[in-house]
Amino acid sequence: MKGRLNKGVSIRAQGDVLSLWKPLSEILGSYNSKATITLNLHNRRARRVSHSVLEVLVETTSTHVDWKLKLNGVNITREFKPPYTLELPDHNKYLCKFVYDITELLNTDEATSREWVNVAIRHEGGNPLSLKGILLNAIYEDYEATSTYSHFTGLLLLERGDEYSHSIDQLSGADAHAKLIMYTPRASRVLISSGSWSELVTLLQGQVEERVFTVSNSTSFIKVSPQVSENQQGYLVLSSFTVYSTNLKTPHLDLESIEASRQGSEVRVKVRIVNTGESKPDRVIISVFDRGTLLGMYRYDGSNYEPGRIVEEVLSLKASPQTAELTLRVAWSKLTKTMFTDRKIILS
């Protein structure tokens, strides 16, 4: 076992947790010196963040990474030497990780007006570097959600017979997840286990992958061990380990009634929706499909969908005169969660 995972932060916060992993496979050097990566901040809705970290993982032949990294046009490159470096056995390469606290940058007026961020990377010289992936964790501030969040980061190499065990603190809600970011140079299997369950996962060759597991309040630890036979050469690198759970006042939209009528190729659908949940949704999207083909999509702000209130929406769309059945889907989101319900529409 080589390297380490350090405890980055462990907090209880008023809000919801967004954890986004973006795998990459782009080499930057003298012939391809620039890359721009867009990360989607799902349903941020101009909320502030109480915590956010950006981690960039690269593979190089040197521990000196000569680059410039910008977030939304702001240079955040602080050093050429990464805080975490791991020499990969038998490859003459290094896995390097850069970690940035981007909380203040995501709370500027310009950033809060967007539901995405751009990460621009420019190779400045020296040896080429291979971008392996970007992790962005953030906690959206919101009084209708309470979260627990623990994040461990670094680079830890596990070989045959090694085992990493991580204890889990008390979680705040039933919606709890453990997220591992892992790398292996060749396709191999990894055993993820706890006291009550175990899962054997296969990782693809040369890729950094995420695995997310649902954990219960009774889960006290998670173990990770590579399954490498004696006649194999292989290892596993753990890049980060995140455990988070959220108690959220959720909306729940029920379809009280649907009325459909048509005249030739025109179809008019009147739908009555009642919110039987605890809060208003952020967004509502109503879609109509004909055997999997989207005929229409209608977006609504969730402010009208107060708990207990019945909302009537009227949709107008075109459908083939031969169509006898449609599918109506109502999807709604609250913070990082998205829910939906489907209903068949019989056309006479």
* 179-227 pLDDT, tens digit each: 999 998 877 888 888 877 788 888 887 789 999 988 876 677 888 988 8
Report the alpha-carbon distance of residue 196 to residue 175 in Å, rounded. 17
Q: Between 167 and 270, whose confidence is greater?
A: 270
From the number of C-beta atoms within 10 Å of its C-beta (0-12, 13-18, 19+), residue 248 rates as buried
pLDDT at 197: 79
DSSP-derived secondary structure for 310-340: EEEEEEEEE--TT--EEEEEEEEEETTEEEE
- The residues facing 117 across adjacent strands are 39
Tokens of 320: 């083939």
β-strands 188-193, 198-203: how paired?
antiparallel
Q: Which of 132, 136, 129 is nearest to 183 (CA)?
A: 132
Lowest mean pLDDT segment, chosen from 225-234, 289-298, 339-348: 225-234
Task: Assign 147 a pLDDT band (cuts: 50, 70, 90).
Answer: very high
- The residues facing 262 across adjacent strands are 267
β-strands 34-40, 116-123: how paired?
antiparallel
Report the alpha-carbon distance of residue 335 to residue 141 in Å, rounded. 9
Does 90 have pLDDT greater than 80?
no
Q: Which of 213, 209, 158 is nearest to 183 (CA)?
A: 209
- Give phi and psi for 299, each to the nearest 5: -110, 140
Report the alpha-carbon distance of residue 149 to residue 242 in Å, rounded. 7
pLDDT at 7: 82
| Contact call for residues 240 and 5 (beta carbons, < 8 A) | yes
pLDDT at 170: 62
pLDDT at 204: 82
What architecture (CATH level 2) is domain 2-248?
A: Sandwich (2.60)
* 251-269 pLDDT, tens digit each: 999 999 999 998 888 899 9
Cβ burial 10-48 (10 Å sphere, 16+ → b, else e): eeebebbbbbbbbebeeebeeeeeeeebebebbbbbebe
Does 338 have pLDDT greater than 80?
yes
Q: HSE (CB half, 13 Å, CA atoms) of 184?
A: 23
The three-class DSSP label of residue 290 is strand
Alpha helices by DSSP H, the chain: 103-106, 109-112
H or E element, residue 287: strand 283-290
Fold designation for 253-346 = Immunoglobulin-like (2.60.40)
Q: Which of 222, 228, 180 is nearest to 197 (CA)?
A: 222
Report the alpha-carbon distance of residue 39 to residue 166 in Å, rounded. 29
| Contact call for residues 187 and 203 (beta carbons, < 8 A) | yes
Biggest alpha carbon–alpha carbon distance for the chain: 71
Report the alpha-carbon distance of residue 244 to residue 176 in Å, rounded. 6
pLDDT at 173: 59
The three-class DSSP label of residue 275 is strand
Tell me how many degrees the CA angle 253-256-262 measures, rounded to the nearest 5: 115
Q: Between 29 and 167, whose confidence is greater?
A: 29
Task: Assign 324 a pLDDT band (cuts: 50, 70, 90).
Answer: confident
Task: Assign 1 a pLDDT band (cuts: 50, 70, 90).
Answer: confident
pTM score of the predicted model: 0.91
Domain ranges of the chain: 2-248, 253-346
